[in-house]
Every structure is written in C-alpha cells, then in structure tokens.
Amino acid sequence: LSAGLQHPATHQHHVYWRFDFDIGSAGNNLALAHMTSGGNWGYGPGWMPLPRETWQVTTSADSWAVLNKQTNIGYLINRGPNDEPCDAFEPGDMYVVAYHGTEDLKGQLGTAQAANIFTHINNENIDGADLVFWYVAHLHHHYHGPEFDWHACGPLLWPIRY
C-alpha cells in the first residue's frame, strides 16, 4: 500500500514478493507459466513447465503456479488487478530460481538503480528442486495532494488441491 506520504510527487513503485513455497517438503517443486500464446505441455492448455531458472514479463505469461510434483498440491499466482507493466528499472514481472540460503536477501534487495534479481539466475535446473518464486508488482503512483489516497498492488494467490 502507498499513500505517497514519503515522496509527495508522482512516482513509480516496484514491490517484490519472495515466495519459498515448501509444499509438503522443501524440494520436489515444479514451476509452471500460463502462456498467453497457448500450447499444451501436459499440464493443461497453456501451462508450460519451467525446468530452469528464468524470468518473465506478463506479455508472455499471465499467471504462474508452483506445485509439489508428487501431490500436485500448490499455489496459483495471478497478477493483481492494479499491477502495471514493468519498466527499465525493473524489467521483469516474475523470477524463479533455485533456493540458496545465501540468496535470501532479507529485505536488502539491489541498489537504488536496480533490484538485480537477475544476478541469481544461473540457468540451474529447478525441476524437482527447492525453488524460490519472486513476484514483482509495478505501480505508477499518481500523486494528487496530501490526502490519504492509498494505492495497492500485488499478486493474488489461490491454493490448488488443498
């Protein structure tokens, strides 16, 4: 949520959510992207597995899922209704990487010029691994004065087969 009180001018927010979905166990995860172009990879129309670390923008995929491969229990991750397109500061909407404890940044993400999540993408195999899913919401905050004009952004999560 943003009311624009810290920066009383029109500005851009990039909000990062780091999800370490340990569904049933830390490993045996599978990330999927729902491709806007369609296709069928065996997980239903449009659902493509993401076997290696990657990033995407919502022009290629409009939602994602993380499942436990053994139980098919997981979460669906949809774009929030107020999430806007990415920009030069943050070019991605989603990143999925292998879990490494040293990459848990505990709120210390990037620099004032860039978030640098790209530095964690090393083409590692994440099919059946312990993975981390990053969702990035982009919000252009139009400042209209000092009144409390709150804006919200972020993903919508839905349980699958819980």
Asked whether residue 1 is domain-assigned, the answer is no
pLDDT tops 60 at residue 148: no
Asked whether residue 4 is domain-assigned, the answer is no
Report pLDDT digits (tens) over 25-57. Answer: 999 999 999 998 888 999 999 999 999 999 988
Asked whether residue 140 is domain-assigned, the answer is yes
Instruction: Identify whether the C-beta of residue 128 lies closer than 8 Å to the C-beta of residue 27.
Output: yes
Q: What is the pLDDT of residue 109?
A: 65
Asked whether residue 5 is domain-assigned, the answer is no
Confidence at 118, pLDDT banded by 50, 70, 90: confident
Confidence at 2, pLDDT banded by 50, 70, 90: very low
Asked whether residue 17 is domain-assigned, the answer is yes
Asked whether residue 116 is domain-assigned, the answer is yes
Tell me how many degrees the CA angle 95-100-106 measures, rounded to the nearest 5.
75
Q: How many domains are contained in the chain?
A: 1
What is the residue range of 55's domain?
Answer: 11-160
Q: What is the pLDDT of residue 1?
A: 46
